[in-house]
Amino acid sequence: MIEATVRYALAAWGFESAPTSLIAQRENIVFRVTDTTGSLYALRLHRQGYQSEQMMRSELLWIQHLGAEGLNVPSPVPSRSGALLMDVDGYHADLLTWLGGAPMGATGTPLDLADRQGTFRRIGQLMARVHQISDDWDRPEGFQRKSWDIDGLLGKAPLWDRFWENPGLSRAQRDRVVAARDRLRADLAGSDLDFGLIHADMLRENILIDGHSLGLIDFDDSGFGYRLFDVATALFKNRSEPDFEELQAAFLEGYLQSRPLETTFLPQFMLMRALTYLGWIMTRMDEPGAPSRQARFLASAVPMVDAYLGARSVSL
């Protein structure tokens, strides 16, 4: 069934007989496509019901603008009809140019970088450019993306589900997670933190290194949000690195070279990132690898909640 859908989708771009290979199947089903000249593309069949059509179109327009401003991001490829997004067998499909380079790393595997601090400094610079270009952009009418605002992160119906109801939490742990959620809302109440378009998923796997060039892929979770949430996402899964403090400092140094950012609340956003993963896994418990992800997310979030609540009277 999916093979026929892929062929139908590729026909819209004139690639009916192009070889394909499946490379990802989670939020979207992604295929690598090779045309007759050897050029590579990524065909995405978007997860049904995950985003509205207008949100998908807006993502493509944002990526297109970032590329036009000189960032190394995929370029949306118009179909034969000139459309960037096509309706194919109940899926929304798009085609993007393939970026060269290799992922910076993989979750759960120690980083292997020749210039560790230098790389994180450049990632900070890259994120700052994404934020500044986005702030300067006159967005087209009808532009829509999800919002990683206080309700999207900590509301009654967060974007990634009610994390405090994760079935792996004990009753006592749930109570503490709820207490942390409420205190986080209180911390953010009345704050004037930098807010705008963010990538929201700048993980190791989504940062491509090609010599000294950095590429950025997978804007599927991008939207409006706190810039500190973007920073926390980029740093979060590197916390087990032995030189994490130095890597974090290098990242922030790179960012602050390009634009200002108040970082006082970064620990709170690191905790919020941990909590979002507890919600994200809840609807994916039947996917391959889910048990190990669930265990990893719990092992990260629960101690962070305990540390946050225990430290409130001292430093938070």
Q: What CATH number is associated with residue 17?
A: 3.30.200.20
Total domains in the fold of the chain = 2
Write out 244-295 in H/E/C secondary structure: HHHHHHHHHHHHHHHCCCCCCCHHHHHHHHHHHHHHHHHHCCCCCCHHHHHH
Predicted confidence at residue 248, as pLDDT, reads 98
Q: Model's pTM, two decimal places?
A: 0.94
Q: Residues 17-39: pLDDT tens digits?
A: 899 999 988 779 999 999 988 99
* Residue type (1 letter), 100: G
Alpha-carbon distance 95 to 75, whole Å? 8
Given a contact cutoff of 8 angstroms between Cβ atoms, the answer to whether 222 and 62 are in contact is: yes
User: Could you tell me the two tokens for 117?
Assistant: 């601090």
Shared domain for 259 and 146, answered yes or no, is yes
d(CA 4, CA 114): 44
Tell me, yes or no, whether 84 and 126 share the same domain: no
pLDDT at 162 over 90: yes
Residue 316 belongs to some domain of the structure: no
pLDDT band of residue 311 (cuts 50, 70, 90) is low
- The pLDDT of residue 306 is above 90: yes
Residue 316's pLDDT is 31
Q: Between 130 and 3, whose confidence is greater?
A: 130
pLDDT grade for 2, boundaries at 50, 70 and 90: confident
Band (pLDDT 50/70/90 cuts) for residue 183 is very high
- What pLDDT is attached to residue 272? 98
pLDDT averaged over the chain?
94
The CA distance from 296 to 115, in Å, is 28
pLDDT tops 60 at residue 315: no
> Are 108 and 78 in a shared domain?
no
In this predicted structure, what is the pLDDT of residue 128?
A: 98
Residues spanned by the domain of 72: 2-98
